[in-house]
Structure 1
């Protein structure tokens, strides 16, 4: 009797369980992946993003062997904004980045800038209908500094100033005496390029964009100077005048980034402009005229609206300064969604 009751209960339970289980649809796993990829695609129309970053450090020393007494202060900020548009096969990517830091140490009485960079870039991309991850592009970019630049030292300094004609003038500076190097928004570096792009990977966790084509670069100066110190002349600091110049050649750029997990993201960019034509008074030639730039960012999310970011920028613009210009720092960044 107990067996009969159990079998009867099982008979009623099986249809109920069958109704609770969803029907299996062949290819449903593929549909899920397709929906996931569609969700990760850039939405149609305009999209905006704005990140604000801040950095601050303070240290004080007193009676420390080998260290001058006093306080060292560094304060700065960064802004990273995007305004992007997509319509079908057409896409426009606009980005504005500003980084600025002021520092003061016991050897110098006033704050001086240690990081100052403004960059705007706009890129148009057309994705081929038959091969959506491939197509032509056009890009413009602007790089400059926001505030004026100056050389200042806590010790007496002898400057060897070379103008655009190669004439050298000696100038002696007293401690805390400043020498003006550049005006605001100087030098102004403009670049235009066009060619083909490939975006073989375009997902939330990993994206890769490679572009190659022809590029032109103009450097516009207002008679400013750059410090190009020669280590072999310990008692003299070399300063050279920045010249206006024009270059044209082949350009390659790489942009790769993604998410390591839900909290950590990264990005790496690299670009090279190899000039075939150069209009400037310079002794550099061949590979010495290559313009190169590397950028890296590692971001760790601390909360929904704040992250800790490490940012690195290294660039070589030989017609401004024949050396690598490197800046890096740690920022506490707040993210805002405008729309």
Structure 2
């Protein structure tokens, strides 16, 4: 065990990797309900309909996609912009907390479109969107058209961004259901689930720090700020310092953690895992080397789109996709025979719900 001169334990990159995988339910699949796992993980990336299903399939034993679809249909979980101003799937209870907590990130997105909103009354945008986004939801395209009728000289995209940033709008079903399609239609959180954020007290930031560490720790202040897209979180960490453990990473950055949280040894086996595009385990730390080797950074993106990825020995090793019922696996570096066998077995397991009877093809690195 390496320690600093001040006596703080230094956690190696592999130690951080194993701790993060354990918190993310990626060292071994958990036997817990989809709703419980979604809340533990503080929501699931959901820019597209399928990623939440792939995320839980990698983390839960015997996961049934229909379980998550049922939660969406019963409106126990919702898809809406929150952390980093990106769409996440989360429980209604978490939406009431995480959506207002993430408002600074949403506000920053709006600033990027201010030029297209000259002369626009933003309070009026909120009122009109709230009036129209009810029931089964208003198609996003139609919302843009209706707002443009009020402000014909404004940028239509900017008007839609203003509505999604200033008002808690959920993407309604059938979009997001397993095996179904549907255009993006929006309804206010209040009209869709009968709950209003205004009736909830201010988010308990200290409680969110604890929850973030439970899902992503050990982590620095900057790590949590990266996950949320929200700054000025250090005061909360300092308030909690007395009840947390502290470490250093290999670069000397101070890390915080819950005292009793799992921190497996660096040599604990980590089986292959197939993850969706934008999975939070890849995006929720300022220093991503605990999962993404530096030489592979940037290889999971093409333009503004991300690839699905897979992990070997806990670290990013390549990308994958499904083509005509076949899972195509593209490793960045050659796989050993043992690694190839394990990757093929895990790929077949992941493919079964999406394309029963489909095959797996591992490309040459």
Same fold, TM-score > 0.5, yes or no: no
Q: Which has the higher strand share?
A: 1
Q: Which has the higher helix share?
A: 2
**TM-score, with length taken from structure 2:** 0.21
Q: TM-score, normalised by structure 1?
A: 0.22
Q: Which structure has the larger Rg over C-alpha atoms?
A: 1
Q: Which has the higher contact order (CA 8 A, sep 6+)?
A: 2
